[in-house]
Amino acid sequence: MSGVTLSEEQIRFIESGVSISLASRDVRRVPSVSKGVGCRVASDRCQIRVLVDAAQSGQLLEDVAASGALAVVFCLPSSHRTLQLKGRDAREVPLSAGDAELAARHRDAFAADLLPLGYALPFARATHDYQVERLRALSFTLSDLFEQTPGPHAGARLEPSS
């Protein structure tokens, strides 16, 4: 185990209605990116599962399968609070019971955060839309954790939680 774990507050944050962006790379180090549609943290606080729509994430899924490298950024639009998690052992895993419901709750919570900012509900929901039959899950062990909220501490490595 890497020794890096998330605090309960960080778990609540990344499992809430945040924007989720994933990135990996191919063997030539060419990046691939995709958006996530949900997140679940295991009870050990260091195993992370992120849901993606395969039709929107094809290259990323291929790159994760080849490299195991994955960076995931979680950002709440209304506050710009942002955390970045990284893993070196990412892999696609079977979906779990409740993953489709998790993605629906995530989409609705994300939309709820955007509404007070003046976005219309159809747009807010469409930004995190997915097809249930195309859902895929990526799992990784947290190896690095960074503060990425704009400001003087952006880019700072966060210490393991106790």
Pairwise CA distance, residues 55 & 31, whole Å: 17
Structure tokens at 122: 């159809």
Residues spanned by the domain of 106: 8-146
Burial environment of residue 111 by CB neighbours within 10 A (0 to 12, 13 to 18, 19 or more): buried
- Report DSSP state, residue 111: H
Q: State pTM to two decimals.
A: 0.92
Q: Is residue 96 part of a domain?
A: yes
What are 80-102's pLDDT values in tens digits?
Answer: 999 999 999 999 999 999 999 99
Q: Which helix (H) or strand (E) holds 57?
A: none
Q: Is residue 30 part of a domain?
A: yes
Domain count, the chain: 1
Q: Is residue 161 part of a domain?
A: no
* Weakly modelled stretches of the chain, pLDDT under 50: 1
Q: What is the pLDDT of residue 101?
A: 96
CB 121 within 8 A of CB 144: no
CATH of the domain at 23: 2.30.110.10
